Amino acid sequence: MYAVNLKLIKEKRVEKGYSFSKIADLMGFNDKAKYYRREKGEYKFNPEELPAVAKILDIPISKIFVLKVSKIETNKEVTK
């Protein structure tokens, strides 16, 4: 299963010097909290928002996603 790479998104935002307000404006959000909650993982990015984030932050869309290993899969590896 894949997850959004929130760490990379934050790193790129900080690297570019974008505040939460600035990126929220670039994303078309009327409130910086909407973006903040997504970057912090409190809410998920909507699928249509991810290409915009990738473009604004100059991240290849393929790098936006990371492979997420579940605890069950990790435990199976340990018991082998």
- Predicted structure pTM score: 0.81
Distance between the two ends of the chain, CA-based, in angstroms? 21
Q: What is the CATH number of the domain that holds 59?
A: 1.10.260.40
Per-residue confidence (pLDDT) for residue 74, from 0 to 100: 47
Q: How many domains does one find in the chain?
A: 1
Q: What is the span of the domain harbouring residue 42?
A: 2-79
Q: Residue 79: what pLDDT?
A: 47
* pLDDT, position 36: 97
On the question of pLDDT at 49 being above 50, the answer is yes
Amino acid (one-letter) located at 75: N
Can you say whether residue 16 is alpha, beta or left, with left for phi > 0 and alpha for psi between -120 and 50 degrees? alpha
Q: Is the predicted pLDDT of residue 19 greater than 70, yes or no?
A: yes
Q: What is the overall mean pLDDT for the chain?
A: 89
pLDDT at residue 78 greater than cutoff 50: no
